[in-house]
Amino acid sequence: MKKIVQRQASESSQCELPETLHPVLRRVYSARNVKTGIELDNSLARLHSPADLKGISAAVDLLAGALQRQERILVVGDFDADGATSSALMVSALKAMGAHNVDYLVPNRFKFGYGLTPEIVSVAADHRPDLIITVDNGISSLDGVKAARERGIRVLVTDHHLPGSELPAADAIVNPNQPHDTFPSKNLAGVGVAFYLLMALRGRLREDGWFANGGRAEPNLADYLDLVALGTVADLVPLDHNNRVLVRQGLQRIRAGRCRPGIKALLDIAGRKIARVVASDFGFAVGPRLNAAGRLDDMSLGIECLLAEDAGKAHQLASELDALNRERREIEADMKAQAMDFVQQVHVQKEQLPLGFCLFEADWHQGVIGILASRIKERFHRPVIAFARSGPDQLKGSARSIPGLHIRDTLDAIAARHPDILHKFGGHAMAAGMSLAEHDLPAFEAAFLEELEKRLDAQILSSVLESDGTLGVEDFSLELAEQLRSAGPWGQGFPEPLFDGNFTVLQQRVVGEHHLKLQVRPEGGDQTLDAIAFNQAADHQLGKGQQVRLAYRLDSNEYRGLLGLQLVIEMIEG
């Protein structure tokens, strides 16, 4: 069971925030370590300079030369939403800058696995590229970069994943997380890194007279921020100030109707209104539909949707993505039931959970194990690695971690102690992927649990909901809900405001089979408030007049064209 703890606001930061802010917003921002009004300025002027990125000059030299000579450029992406948006961004922006021969290639995860492998280089060679640009991958592709260079293909790596002890021998590398890089934000998504490279490239081409002397229109790169915002949120990178600028600017353009047909179609098919889109719509509505293509089929479908210039074509592709997402949900539900049954029988009945889980079933779908790991992690608040077969005696694993455990560093430590177990691995603090032989799974699980013994303590294993405190009865207003909605963007590392308090239940009913619809009254007030607890109908049977403690978000809900105040309940105690 989770417990509610209150976030602590810094007194020093409170006094430096604008006095005009609503007191609740001042409290919320302060608890997120926002110290000055400057950090609330999400204009493009607040973006860090591309010049701070290590390797950016060499990368721009490489790209500018390729454009000027009209060489063949091939973008090699990843098969998730970040990779899809990165690929669409790079292809469309380079074409807008005057590249005549630019195409993309995304490895099919079931045939080639992740990144620029030697096998995908062989496929890429059929395109006869002069230059390969990796987006959202490549920093660990030592063998793939070597294979490309041996074929006479130059390689530009753009990535944001953490590098290993050795970097690929690429012609240029742009990655804020590579050694000795001084870029202030280490949290750029792959699409953010690509956007920064394109900003630097446009500046160089402008200086060289490429646009003016060639009679070419200079593209406004701000028009591509819808892609940047989508990829940044969907990849769950922390929304530091620099990322909040990118996301806010993309959201503003989408709300104004200035977004590409593919994103509009995906929002439409998910039932989201363009004029009221928020960052969470990317994470819960658009991102999963894009990711479904890479999980079950081929991410080219998602990229083509993002590249579509015709609304009809975009809607057709979005419908196909939606169908894949429904299929993904069915597969996920079956896998989750199997995993939950195993955990309940083996661990929960013993009344003692392990420090982490390694889960495997022979028929699990390798494209869905990442989501499965996330679901089990959320349920039990333990690091989880879910495995699926990827070939004869071969397993692919997808890991999801909890705050306080850096999962990629954990895998690195295992690889150092047991160099023969892991074939490949890579990732972030909170998510990682790996491959190993099926016969080595027991040894890996033992090594994983042994490493967790060193890195985890009881405090980390306690699941908590961080609350921004209680609201006064005067704060239950549509006006404040709208202010909170527009005060973000909220997301990873900059969480949406969550409050807690005592309420009286006036009415309850089940809607949509799984959701609990309530009417409640706040302690000390006489206002009747609508509330909904998603996917909690089976967990609670509340009686009229019952006193409960709720952890909730203050939300504005649109119904039949009218906005109304609603509490979105995260947890119910009582």
In DSSP terms, 573 is beta-bridged to 549
Query: CATH number of the domain at 353-461, please?
Result: 3.10.310.30
Written as tens digits, the pLDDT of the chain (574 aa) is 578 888 876 555 445 788 889 999 999 999 999 989 999 999 999 999 999 999 999 999 999 999 999 999 999 999 899 999 999 999 999 999 999 999 999 988 777 778 899 999 999 999 999 999 999 999 999 999 999 999 999 999 999 998 988 999 999 999 999 999 999 999 999 999 999 999 999 999 999 999 999 889 999 999 999 999 999 999 989 999 999 999 999 999 999 999 999 999 999 999 999 999 999 999 999 999 999 999 898 899 999 999 999 999 999 999 999 999 999 999 999 999 999 988 887 765 545 789 999 999 999 999 999 999 999 999 899 999 999 999 999 999 999 999 899 999 999 999 999 999 999 898 888 889 999 999 999 999 999 999 999 999 888 888 888 999 999 999 999 999 999 999 999 999 999 999 999 999 999 999 988 899 999 999 999 999 999 999 888 888 888 999 999 999 999 988 777 889 999 999 998 7
Alpha helices in 128-259 (DSSP H): 142-150, 190-207, 210-214, 225-234, 241-255
Cis omega (within 30 of 0) for bond into 383: no
**How far, in Å, CA of 436 to CA of 274, rounded?**
44
Q: What's the sign of the alpha-carbon dihedral 257, 251, 75, 386?
A: negative
Q: Which CATH class is domain 3-7+465-573?
A: mainly beta
State the DSSP string of 317-381. HHHHHHHHHHHHHHHHHHHHHHHHHHHHHHTGGGT---SSEEEE-TT--TTTHHHHHHHHHHHH-
Residue indicated by tokens 């294993």: 461
**How far, in Å, CA of 450 to CA of 458, rounded?**
16
Residue spans of the domains in the chain: they are 3-7+465-573, 46-321, 353-461
Q: What is the pLDDT of residue 9?
A: 67
**Residue 301 · residue 320 · CB < 8 Å:** yes
Token code pair at residue 360: 């495997």
For residue 515, what are the CA distances in angstroms to 213, 309, 331, 508?
61, 38, 22, 10
Q: What is the pLDDT of residue 347?
A: 63
**Residue 76 · residue 135 · CB < 8 Å:** yes
Q: What's the sign of the alpha-carbon dihedral 115, 121, 127, 132?
A: positive
Q: What is the pLDDT of residue 372?
A: 95
- State the fold for domain 46-321: inorganic pyrophosphatase (n-terminal core) (3.90.1640)
Q: What is the pLDDT of residue 16?
A: 78
Q: Read off the pTM.
A: 0.91
